[in-house]
């Protein structure tokens, strides 16, 4: 049985929890006196106040040696950004920045677990905050990607001028309202105008925008807009059908509900017979 006692020099999580509670009490006091939005009646606090709570006033909770230890975020981040032996490369700096972000997210997750009545000091849960932080960064990796990088070197001259369809592209995203997954299939069609796009790039565009906090309507539009802007085809059509867990596992709990969205550009929007041909290809 692995030992779950704190290592020498580490602060027990019970002490960290006291600091978390104190920070939350302070934040609630500020919220009580915060100005009220005249439109929707919501209270707002400054970003610095909120970061005090998420960072626990300069602290984060990490899982060193299997236990949660409190350390200062700014000191740790500075240490990571200045590794021994010289200045970090761009890649190394990006990695250390991600590590610091992961630790801050893990600290917030540990606090959430406590609020849910779950004890992060349990041996089988001690790495859960860090695991969830890494997963969340992966789920939202699309924020670090751009259309320029995704489509770089993948546009080719070609005289082909009929419909190109990429079907059944799996998409996984997070609903921005509840941060729970929605998933399904994306179908993309375009009609070239002197240039074509590498086939894998259609899937990569869908992946880039899906790996963000999203609503399905915006995701459909962003994929179409990106292809139209960088390829300049005669027309683009995007069709997505997805299951939303915010409807299936909570709220109304309709497990069989599917959401369908379609966006058309150029000749697809003007020619309904062409649009129907695309829908027939998608649904056959």
Options 178, 193, 228, 241, the catalytic residue: 178
Give the whole-angstrom CA distance, residue 37 versus residue 95: 39
Q: Which helix (H) or strand (E) holds 79?
A: helix 73-81
Residues in CB range of 24: below 8 A, 6 or more apart: 53
Options 214, 222, 244, 275, the catalytic residue: 244
Residues in CB range of 248: below 8 A, 6 or more apart: 254, 255, 257
Is 186 one of the catalytic residues? no
Strand partners, 140: none
Options 175, 187, 207, 214, the catalytic residue: 175
Is 158 one of the catalytic residues? no
Q: What is the DSSP letter of 171?
A: E
Options 216, 222, 226, 275, the catalytic residue: 216
By DSSP bridging, strand 213-214 and strand 164-175 are: parallel
Is 176 one of the catalytic residues? yes
Give the whole-angstrom CA distance, residue 210 versus residue 200: 15
Options 75, 158, 177, 217, the catalytic residue: 177
Q: Are 189 and 278 in contact (CB under 8 A)?
A: yes
Is 187 one of the catalytic residues? no
Options 176, 217, 272, 276, the catalytic residue: 176
Instruction: Locate 73 and state its tokens.
Output: 């975020």
Instruction: Please identify which residue in the block is written with the tokens 């049985």.
Output: 1
Give the whole-angstrom CA distance, residue 66 versus residue 32: 37
CA distances (Å), 276 to each of 212, 268, 283, in order? 30, 9, 10
Q: Are 247 and 254 in contact (CB under 8 A)?
A: yes
Residue in 136, 228, 133, 128 with CA at minimum distance from that of residue 173: 136
Instruction: Please identify which residue in the block is written with the tokens 């003007």.
Output: 270
- The residues annotated with a catalytic role in the active site are 175-178, 216, 244, 246
């Amino acid at each position: 049985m692995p030992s779950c006692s704190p290592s020498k020099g580490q602060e027990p999580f019970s002490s960290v929890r006291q600091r978390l509670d104190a920070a939350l009490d302070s934040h609630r006091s500020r919220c009580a006196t915060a100005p009220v939005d005249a439109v929707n009646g919501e209270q707002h606090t400054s970003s610095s106040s909120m970061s005090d709570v998420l960072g626990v006033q300069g602290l984060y909770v990490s899982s060193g040696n299997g236990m949660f230890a409190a350390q200062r975020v700014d000191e740790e981040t500075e240490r990571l950004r200045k590794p021994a032996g010289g200045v970090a490369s761009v890649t190394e700096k990006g990695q250390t920045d991600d590590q610091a972000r992961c630790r801050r997210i893990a600290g917030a997750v540990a606090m959430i677990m406590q609020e849910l009545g779950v004890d992060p000091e349990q041996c089988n849960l001690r790495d859960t905050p860090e695991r969830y932080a890494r997963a969340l960064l992966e789920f939202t990796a699309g924020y670090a990607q751009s259309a320029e990088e995704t489509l770089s070197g993948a546009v080719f001259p070609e005289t082909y001028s009929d419909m190109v369809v990429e079907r059944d592209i799996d998409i996984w995203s997070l609903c921005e309202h509840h941060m729970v997954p929605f998933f399904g299939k994306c179908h993309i069609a375009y009609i070239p105008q002197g240039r074509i796009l590498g086939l894998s790039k259609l899937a990569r565009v869908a992946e880039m925008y899906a790996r963000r906090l999203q609503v399905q309507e915006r995701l459909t539009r962003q994929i179409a807009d990106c292809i139209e802007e960088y390829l300049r085809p005669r027309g683009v059509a995007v069709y997505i059908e997805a299951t939303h867990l915010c409807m299936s596992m909570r709220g109304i709990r309709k497990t069989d509900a599917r959401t369908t969205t379609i966006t058309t550009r150029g000749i697809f929007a003007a020619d309904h017979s062409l649009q129907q041909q695309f829908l027939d290809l998608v649904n056959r």
